[in-house]
Structure formats: structure tokens, C-alpha cells
Amino acid sequence: MSVYAEITNGTVTNTVISDPTHAATQGWVLIDGITPQPSIGWGYDGKTFTAPPPPTPTPQEAALATVAQLAASLPGHIAQATTDAAAIKTLTAGASLDAAHVTALQNHADGWVTLLGGLQALLQAQGLA
């Protein structure tokens, strides 16, 4: 007994375990030994089996993939924001800016570090990072 593919209009519509004699009378195609083994939905052109394209992600799956990419990039952004914040503090310490502008720049830099850290914590709490 071997595994065969039933083909309809160039597409695998069923897989069957059968003896060679019966399979031949049905026109089934032997798929034993093919890796990965073709299954329902695969294409067949008379010689070669082709896997179907991957399914299109749902809007929720696409959004989760985007969030995962964002989560993966956060540690680098946090590190850069921290470095930038330290540089801004160093540069503004001796700058000829008035105290209000120096404080605003430093708070802005610290705010980015806080925002990115908070976003990372939120994603981790949701199991997304």
C-alpha cells in the first residue's frame, strides 16, 4: 500500500492509501517518497507538485506582526534615546542657551527614553515583546 494524490484540474483534491493496481485504474499519482509530501490544495502540472501560496494574513495577524517588529526594535531605540539624552545634557550644560531652553531639551530627551521604555513594558505585559 502506498500514498497517492487524487488530482482534479491540476490540483490535489484528496490523498489516498491504495494498492498500485487500484490507484492506476483511478489515475491517482504516487506521492510516497516526496518531501514534503503533497497534500490537498497542492498544484500538479503532470510532472511536478507545487505547494500552494501561504495564506494571506488577517488584518489582526498583520497588526501583530507589525507590533512584533516594533517590539524587536525597541531595545535599540531605547539605547539610542538614552545615548542621545546624555549627549543633549552634556551639550546643553555649557551651551549659550537660556535655562528654559536647556531644560526643555533635556526634558524632551528624557521623555523619549520614558516613552519608549513604557511602550516596551506595555508590549511585554501583553506578551508581545
Measured in degrees and rounded to the nearest 5, phi and psi for residue 55 equal: -65, 150
User: Cα(first)–Cα(last) distance of the chain, in Å?
Assistant: 48
Amino acid at position 43, single letter: G
Return all residues near 129 (Cβ < 8 A) that are at least 6 apart. 68, 71, 72, 74, 120, 123
Model pLDDT, residue 89: 72
Model pLDDT, residue 129: 61
Q: How far apart are CA 13 and CA 40, in angstroms?
A: 5
3-state secondary structure of 14: strand
Model pLDDT, residue 51: 96
Q: Is the dihedral of CA 15, 19, 21, 22 positive or negative?
A: negative
Q: How many residues does the chain have?
A: 129
What is the mean pLDDT, run by run of 10 residues, along the chain of 129 residues? 97 97 96 95 96 90 81 77 75 68 75 78 74
Model pLDDT, residue 117: 79
pLDDT tens-digit readout, 72-105: 777 877 777 777 777 777 766 666 667 777 777 7
